[in-house]
Amino acid sequence: MGDLVQITSRRALAKPAPPVFDPAELDLPPSPMPSRLPGYLALHETGELARRAEAAWELLRGCTVCPQNCPVDRTTGRTGACHSGEEIIVGSWNIHRREEPPISGTRGAGTIFFGGCQARCLYCQNFWLSQMGKGIRVGPERLAEMMLELQRKGCHNIDLVTPTHFVPQLLKALVIASDKGLHIPMVYNSAGYEHLHTLRLLDGVIDIYLPDAKYADNREAMRTSKMHHYVEYNRMTLKEMYRQVGGLQVDRYGIATRGLIVRHLVMPNGHAGTRDVLTWIARELGPDIGLSVMDQYFPAYKVHGDEELGRRLTWREYREALDVVEDLPFENLFLQEDLTEIDTTADV
Ligand code: SF4
């Protein structure tokens, strides 16, 4: 698998993007305030952030945080399909340098990987964390400390990975962290399977949305990820995220300050419905979003021996996805660097 590279014009598909400008060359301090203050600080000032946290907490009782709608009261410690109760599960919190260039930038994203997951992907590469209960259990105070630690390390943002099932806890943590000086943007990096009422509580809180668009077919989504009506929920999710933050905006160093970047993982044998997914995105969202087309599928967890999913993607399959992209009007593309190589092997 290659790193993601940024292509700013579909006509430039055959060329590698220039590297992101390194502010360290200007001898800037390690953790400058972002050029635009994140939205959650304004909401915190008026008390709205705390009000949202309280409203979100109510969703945990007979949990409707996500579309799985599990009939459990998580405030009593009971768990739903995400195997998560009231406590937050964290797998790791670290500097991450291999997200899309505007997210990782030069100092890295401050990535917090959450444990548990609303989905049950048979091919999950992090199954030990998403489906086997690993990770440490923390409360909102400790999560706030993790965010502040990542900010002290100079990260460009807080990159929340698989956060959906912990939105109420996250909002509580954000109130605490804002009180203590957190001031870098929030990135919400999810499966793109959200309830509208939960997303509305994040309006103005999240600066950058980084959702997946995984499938174009509900039966495939159900069979391999156990998410019902994924396509309808996903499309509603992407539209609402776009309504909230709009197209991708970057500062003068190329670092994301706001906006939507949609990720699509190309899968073997057309399993993800790549053409339909990308065509829908181009038609229904703006060409100004970021679009990340990924090739790193490999057969992990339960798909060894699966006729359809038990192998890696071929180079030809990824190239076909790029042929689709070339005909669509996206302005900000993030593609695997394999694209820029002359590759005569069958596999990516
Ligand atoms: S967040 Fe978890 S418990 Fe709540 S509805 Fe979703 S999967 Fe079920």
Of the chain, the percentage scoring pLDDT greater than 70 comes to 86
pLDDT tens by residue, 101-115: 999 999 999 999 999
- pLDDT at position 11 over 50: no
Q: Is the CB of 90 under 6 A from ligand 1?
A: no
Contact 82, 193 (CB under 8 A): no
Distance 81 CA to ligand 1 centre (A): 6
Distance 194 CA to ligand 1 centre (A): 10
Domains and CATH numbers, the chain: 4-17+34-340 (3.20.20.70)
Q: Is the CB of 70 under 6 A from ligand 1?
A: yes
pLDDT tens by residue, 279-290: 999 999 989 999
Q: Is the CB of 89 under 6 A from ligand 1?
A: no
Q: If you average pLDDT over residues 72-97, what whole number do you get?
A: 95
Report the interhelical angle of 140-152 vs 167-179 (nearest 10°). 60
**Ligand 1 binding pocket mutation candidate from 61, 68, 190 (most atoms within 8 A of CB):** 68
Give the chain's mean pLDDT.
89
Q: What is the pLDDT, as a whole number, of residue 338?
A: 55
Q: What is the pLDDT, as a whole number, of residue 286?
A: 87
Could you tell me which residues come within 8 angstroms of residue 88 by beta carbon, excluding any fewer than 6 positions away? 114, 137, 138, 139, 140, 142, 143, 166, 169, 170, 173
pLDDT tens by residue, 37-57: 899 999 999 999 999 999 999
Contact 82, 117 (CB under 8 A): yes
| Biggest distance spanned by C-alpha atoms of the chain | 58
Q: If you average pLDDT over residues 77-83, what whole number do you get?
A: 94
Of the chain, the percentage scoring pLDDT greater than 90 comes to 77
- Using DSSP's 3-state secondary structure scheme, residue 69 falls into coil
pLDDT tens by residue, 184-237: 999 999 999 999 999 999 999 999 999 999 999 999 999 999 999 999 999 999
- pLDDT at position 15 over 60: no
Residue 180 CA to residue 145 CA, distance in Å, equals 9
Contact 208, 250 (CB under 8 A): no
Closest of 335, 256, 249, 258 to residue 291, by C-alpha:
335
Could you tell me which residues come within 8 angstroms of residue 138 by beta carbon, excluding any fewer than 6 positions away? 87, 88, 90, 146
Vertex 16 angle, CA 11 and 18, to 5°: 105
pLDDT tens by residue, 293-347: 999 998 988 888 888 899 999 999 999 999 999 999 999 999 976 544 434 455 5
- Using DSSP's 3-state secondary structure scheme, residue 86 falls into coil
Q: What is the pLDDT, as a whole number, of residue 41?
A: 97
